[in-house]
A = this chain, B = another copy of it.
Amino acid sequence: MKVSIIGATGYTGEELLRILAAHPAVEIAYITSESQNGENINRVYPHLSHLYDKKLVSMNKLEIIAEESDIVFLGLPHGHAMAAGKRLLAGGTKVIDLGADYRFRDIAVYQKWYKVEHTHVDAPSVYGLPELYRSKVKEAILIGNPGCYTTASILALAPLVKNELIELNSIVIDAKSGVSGAGRGLSLNSHFSETFENVKAYNIGGHRHTPEIEQALSEQAGNEVVVTFTPHLIPMARGILSTCYGTLKAGVDSTDVDQAFAKMYGDEYFIRLLGRGGYPATKNTRGSNFCDIGWHIDSRTGRVISVSAIDNLVKGAAGQAVQNLNIMFGLDERTGLSQAPLYP
């Protein structure tokens, strides 16, 4: 299978390259970068030496890329992916977009939160969270690959809202992310000396992953869900921990909660249930496509606290994209994703 990556030099593109290097069914066709056009990828990322020896090209000849690729990953900023996506689909290739452009059913929600006009309104996109939408992913030609906070938070809460175990207006999501989620672009917020030995919240009430979480949870619940979502930046490179709070409905007991998780995820390879009382740790997922989930009942307050851990660049981005590719092409879902987490 021939695979191309548009925008290959960000952390997401580089992570795709890392994963695909071990994927037995994939051959890289094109990798693009406008700023480093003509450069060998192993000059940009020396850790890929002896694994890749390939030049970055411009994305301006997108039609050729479409023609010579069975599938194309888009690693472009939101607002830019949809133009490329349109041309690629027209060229007959499949597309997985790792940004936000194809994640929303309701274009108005996208436009409100992202302040950009959507120019590919009738896109046949599928939301690529396999554990919830696997059958649709199987038929898809265009995937909107979920965000990192989103993946962790939805997976932690879906069993609770789907099975009507918590009050829908009670959800609070407190998430902690490593700095790689902010990408490779330079900013004081990812300057080492500022970020090290530091923790802070940001974008309270306004982070763009909020509507994405609400969209999926509302579908699971069959009712509108509105959440409070607070992202935090913590001093590590990879990993997201999402601590999710909800008030149990009257009459719900701990067994109901246990069963909801078991029923929804008991057969999922990439979700590891730590059970009631279990404590996920981001380190246990680092470098892998696993999402670890544990949950707790706070009987004093009647709340359930569901905690999930992922590697933001893998299950929260590139790994999930490869999982989607596997499903779209009828491969075993684990193909190329069987690496054990890197611990310690």
B-binding residues in A (CB < 8 A): 11, 14, 17-19, 21-22, 45-51, 169, 172, 174, 176, 178-180, 184, 186-188, 190-202, 204-205, 226-228, 230, 232, 234-239, 241, 243, 245, 269, 272, 274, 279-288, 290, 292, 296-301, 303, 305, 307, 309, 338-344
- Please tell me if the beta carbons of A22 and B339 are within 8 angstroms of each other in the complex: yes
Query: In the complex, A240→B65 CA distance in Å?
Result: 41
A239-B198 in contact (CB<8A):
yes
> Within the oligomer, what is the number of copies of this chain?
4
Neighbour of A190 across the interface among B192, B286, B299, CB < 8 A: B192
A192-B179, A192-B190, A234-B199 given as contacts; is B226 within 8 A of A18 (CB)?
A: no
Q: How far is the CA of A46 from the CA of B282 in the complex (A)?
A: 11
Contact B298 A228 (CB under 8 A): yes
A191 touches B190 (CB 8 A): yes
Q: Which residues of B contact A290 (CB under 8 A)?
A: 50
Across the two chains, which residue of chain B brings its CB closest to A299? B205
Assembly CA distance A179 to B195 (angstroms): 11
Q: A282 is contacted by which of B198, B287, B299, B342 (Cβ under 8 Å)?
A: B198
Please, which residues of chain B bring their CB within 8 A of the CB of A50? 269, 272, 290
Assess whether B201 is in contact with A193, with CB atoms less than 8 Å apart.
no
The interface residues of chain B lying within 8 Å CB-to-CB of A187 are 186
Closest residue to A190 on the B side, CB-wise? B192
Cβ–Cβ contact A184 & B191, under 8 A: yes
B272 touches A202 (CB 8 A): no
B205 A196 Cβ-Cβ under 8 A: no
Q: Are A243 and B232 in contact (CB under 8 A)?
A: yes
Q: How far does the Cβ of A278 sit from chain B's closest Cβ, in whole Å?
A: 9
**Which of B47, B228, B272 meets A343, CB within 8 Å?**
B47
A204, closest chain B residue (CB): B296
